[in-house]
């Protein structure tokens, strides 16, 4: 069985660049876009952790 952390890692590797570029278009700052991209995945991890649900992304 695949762990929740592994699924979130896969999600990060699959979508982090796309999310980063989208955020960069909105904020026009590389540093801020990097920080916000990390926040997106931290929130996804917290939601998954708190819910205790193993989701297949």
**pLDDT at position 57:** 47
**pLDDT at position 4:** 67
Alpha-carbon distance of 32 to 46, in angstroms, equals: 21
Q: How confident is the model over 1-57, as pLDDT tens digits?
A: 667 678 778 888 999 999 999 999 999 999 999 999 999 988 888 876 656 655 454
CB-based contacts of 43, cutoff 8 Å, min separation 6 = none
Compute how many other C-beta atoms are within 10 angstroms of the C-beta atom of residue 33: 19
**pLDDT at position 53:** 53
Alpha-carbon distance of 57 to 7, in angstroms, equals: 7
Q: Please give the model's pTM, rounded to 2 decimal places.
A: 0.75
Q: How confident is the model over 45-57, as pLDDT tens digits?
A: 887 665 665 545 4
């Amino acid at each position: 069985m695949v762990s929740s952390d592994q699924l979130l890692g896969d999600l990060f590797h699959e979508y982090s660049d796309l999310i980063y570029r989208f955020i960069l278009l909105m904020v026009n700052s590389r540093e801020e876009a990097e920080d916000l991209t990390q926040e997106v995945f931290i929130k996804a991890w917290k939601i998954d952790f708190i819910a205790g649900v193993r989701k297949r992304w």
